[in-house]
Amino acid sequence: MSAISNRGLHLSSLAVIGFMLATAAAQQNPRRDDDPPIKLESILVQVPVTVKNFLGVYATDLHRQDFAIYEDGVRQEIEFFKTVAEPFSVALLIDSSGSTADQLTEIREAARAFIHLLREADRAMIIEFNDSVRTVCEMTSDKNRLLHSLEVIKAGEYTQVYDAVYTVVWEKFEKVEGRKAAIVFTDGVDNASTEITEDDTLDAVVEMEDVIVYPVRYNTRRNAMIKLARKYRPGLAPDAVDAETWLPDDVRRGFDHAYRKADNYLHQLAQLSGGVVEYADSLADLRGALERIATELRQQYLLGYYPTNTNKSQANRKIKVTVLRDGYRVRARPAYNISK
């Protein structure tokens, strides 16, 4: 049984116990006609929301009454509202596998720049993944500690993207309150995860509805292809432009498939969580991508509601958030799963 299933079973058991206790209490204290109605509250669904006007400028002056949120087409009562001024918690997931070894210095420099952008109340943690997943620095607001932890990151050989994303979204963020996001520095190619699958990570993102994922995708395809081609022609130059021609057709097709799959996976992570994919093929691109993410994190709202539909058998729920003013565009996750 997966970790998600175990958690769902545990919460289902708690729900049954809660129902039995509530029933016993009702029998001992029968409700009078003038008593206020009993509200059956289920889990609080929290939805990070990004809003821009028609010029593409972030809207930072909105209030609770400016929003409407719908679940499966039914409008919900917004009972939890955090403004853009609230601090955020962010996890930096750094791919230090062999395919990204050439970019590791640039990644460190860009991560340092991002850490310097954090405000006093913001917090961050750093996760390194290659042949395994390792927490380099737990969640903290201590910038010096974060900066120092970047120095211990070393290149490995393989890539456990799925294990890393699952670990952060489902485990590390479980008890973190408020606005939170995961920034994943990677090419997206997984070749080492054994227990966690791609679908496991996407399910975790859907069920942990208040985490936004920002993949920062840098292109390792050319360097990886040259390294692979040199196995077939050892004398091939490190910057060879014709590396692809030295690969057998089946190897090249497998190579192309792996990178297409990786790109699709990163897009799904972003789309399901309400984030965006940033592309960074140079240090300037990487720094710019992180600056844009840092800026966006400072402009987001966090909305929460208790679903009016208390039927737990209808697990998959669609979400739509709108602004009750003209000229605004909203980005938020499209759905969640209530089974958690």
User: Rounded to an integer, what distance in angstroms lies between the CA atom of residue 70 and that of residue 75?
Assistant: 4
pLDDT of residue 46: 93
A 10 A CB-CB count for 53 gives 14
Nearest to 189 by CA among 181, 180, 200, 198: 198
329-340 pLDDT, tens digit each: 999 999 999 875
Which residues partner with 49 through β-bridges?
301
pLDDT band at residue 29 under the 50/70/90 scheme: very low
Task: Please check whether residue 242 is in contact with residue 187, taking contact to mean a CB–CB distance below 8 angstroms.
Answer: no
Domain boundaries, the chain: 1-38, 43-84+299-340, 88-217+252-297
Three-state SS at 159:
coil
Which residues partner with 316 through β-bridges?
337
Topology annotation, domain 88-217+252-297:
Rossmann fold (3.40.50)
Q: Is the pLDDT of residue 201 over 70?
A: yes
303-333 pLDDT, tens digit each: 999 999 988 888 899 999 999 999 999 999 9
CA dist 65 → 49, 203, 324, 325, 337 (Å): 14, 31, 8, 10, 26
Q: What is the pTM of this model?
A: 0.83
Question: Given this structure, which CATH class describes domain 43-84+299-340?
Answer: mainly beta
207-220 pLDDT, tens digit each: 998 999 999 998 88
